[in-house]
Amino acid sequence: MKLFKRVPFCQVAFSTVTLNTYFAQLVLGFFLSVSGISIAQQAAPAASSAPTTDDEMSKAILEKLQKSGDIVIRPSDLPSKPPPKAAVAANPVAKQEAKPAAKPIEHAHWSYTEGPDGPANWWRTSKDNLLCSAGKQQSPINIEGGILVDLPPLRFDYKISPLTIQDNGHTILVNYAEGSNLSLDARQYRLVQFHFHKPSEEAIDGKRADMVAHLVHQHHDGRLLVVAVLMNSSLEASQAENAAFQMILNHIPLVKKESSSPNGVMIDLNQLLPKNLAYFTFMGSLTTPPCSENVQWVVLKEAAVISKQQLDNFSRIYPNNARPLQSRSGRLIKEAR
């Protein structure tokens, strides 16, 4: 009884090759499955001599196996996996990006009322208005605790000017013709324009006047000097006591943001000034956006007098167009003795 059957050598050799091929395919499948792809999914090779079909790939692996040594697969040999896609939130509304704090609102209108465009938010209304919040010499301020010193006198050289008046949506403004100047401490400033606020923006010892006229002057080097003429109403005062202010009220344009230049009407700003020209002075800023600083302020200690009716007439147009008081921030205030 024969336990073993002699098998021809060629048949054994053939079976060995077949087994090796089968084993090579198993190894190939294992490594490619680890990399996450199949043989059919591999990218096309760069050279035409490289194996391109499953059979050719099997032969290549078989040749590796038949050689001495182990097959080492380096990370660089494996196809790189694509970066994971960002997970999409199940509820995109629930996850919101943090809003940048204090981002300026470009080209927004500013006003004197509380709200998103009010004085506390002027700095947000334009990138040009950041000083309204970040400035260190902002105006107006409460004037108190000044040092008494000998100050140079104010020398007004105001000429009569054709009346050019505008309601710009924030105040009543009068543009003054060239040729009127103010001299202070050997420096001459040209009167550019003047406008009004109710109540006065400045306070003296915590008290504000009924109104104020801001007379804006400019030196030839660009520096600004603003003279503040406080205005208080009196029941005894007649309209004739302040003819300059009455002329302005008479010619306020009917439509906001329109200018008026009535033919032949002239104005003399000297009529608005009080008799006593003693003053306080300090450094500050414009009281409206962009709140530019390095402005010298001159606040007359004596108030001009207007009638109660004149005050009421202006109040019907601008009942409140005054900026809140700002921090003094240690500024020096000089007071004429």
User: Catalytic site residues?
Assistant: 170
The number of residues making up the chain comes to 337
Map residue 263 onto helix, strand or coil: coil
Tokens at 129, concatenated: 């208005």
Task: Yes or no: say if 159 and 181 are a contact pair by the CB < 8 Å rule.
Answer: no
| The two structure tokens encoding residue 164 | 């050019």
Distance CA 102, CA 124 (A): 7
| Phi, psi angle pair for 46, to nearest 5° | -75, -35
With H, G, I as helix, E, B as strand and everything else as coil, classify residue 11: helix
Handedness of CA 125, 130, 135, 138 (dihedral sign): negative
Listed residue (66, 60, 71, 224) closest to 139, CA to CA = 224
CA dist 308 → 121, 239, 242 (Å): 33, 9, 12
Q: How far is CA 82 from CA 35, 36, 45, 85, 114, in A?
A: 12, 11, 19, 9, 54
Distance CA 109, CA 125 (A): 7
Say what the alpha-carbon torsion angle 220, 282, 297, 124 is, to the nearest 10 degrees: 100
Residue 273: CB atoms within 10 A of its CB come to 19
